[in-house]
Amino acid sequence: MEHFPFTLPISGTITIDDDKVTISVQPAQITMHVNGGQPSIGRFRRESGKTIYDIVLETAQRLKREGENSFTAVQLYALAVMEHPYLKRNSWTSHVIASAPNHPSYKHYASHREYFDYAGQGKYRLKQRYWPDSEEGQE
C-alpha cells in the first residue's frame, strides 16, 4: 500500500453571534453554544489595568506585612496563585527575575522593574522604598 500526500482546499464561514458560534462548510454546518464569562483553562485573567508586575509587587508587599522580607519566586508564586489561579509559573519567575536589577539574568529581559534585591541562591528581598506604608524614595 502506498500513501500520497495531498492538500484539499476548503472554504467556509465562521459566524460568531453572542454565545453562539456557527461553522459552515457547504453542505455541512455545525452550531456550538459557548458559555461566555468563564475563563478558559490555562489562561490568566487579571483585573483590567493590572499587570503581572503589579501582582508580583503586591504579593511581595503582602509577605512584608506578614514580617517576611526574604523569599523565593516559588514562595511568591504559591501566595499569588491562591488569588490568581491562572498564573503561569514560568511567566511568574521571569517577571520576578526582571524585577531584580542585580540578578545575573536581569539583562535578558526587555521590560524591567526595580522592586527587589537579589540575595543569591534564589532569594529576593523587597527594596525598602516599596515596603507597604513606607515613604517613597527611602532605601
pLDDT tens by residue, 62-80: 999 999 999 999 999 999 9
Q: Where do the structural domains in the chain lie, given as residue ranges?
A: 52-130
Residue 55 phi, psi dihedral angles, 5° rounding = -70, -40
Confidence check: pLDDT of 29 > 50:
yes
Q: What is the arithmetic mean of pLDDT over 107-115? A: 92
pLDDT level of residue 27 (50, 70, 90 thresholds): confident
Q: At what angle do helices 73-83 and 52-65 cross, to 10 degrees?
A: 100
Residues 6+ apart with CB under 8 A from 111: 53, 98
Beta bridge partners of 16: 21
Find the mean pLDDT for residues 75-86: 91
Half-sphere exposure of 8 (CA within 13 A, CB side): 4
Q: Are 57 and 63 in contact (CB under 8 A)?
A: no
Average pLDDT on 39-66 reads 79
pLDDT band, residue 97 (cuts 50/70/90): very high
Residue 85 φ/ψ, nearest 5 degrees: -65, -10
Q: Is the pTM of this model over 0.85?
A: no
Helix 52-65 crosses helix 89-97 at what angle (to 10 degrees)?
80
Mean pLDDT of the chain: 83
Is residue 138 predicted with pLDDT exceeding 50?
Answer: no
- Mean pLDDT over 21-27 rounds to 82
What is the H or E stretch that residue 14 is in? strand 13-17
- Whole-number Å distance between alpha carbons of 28 and 136: 64
Q: By three-state DSSP, how is residue 102 classified?
A: coil
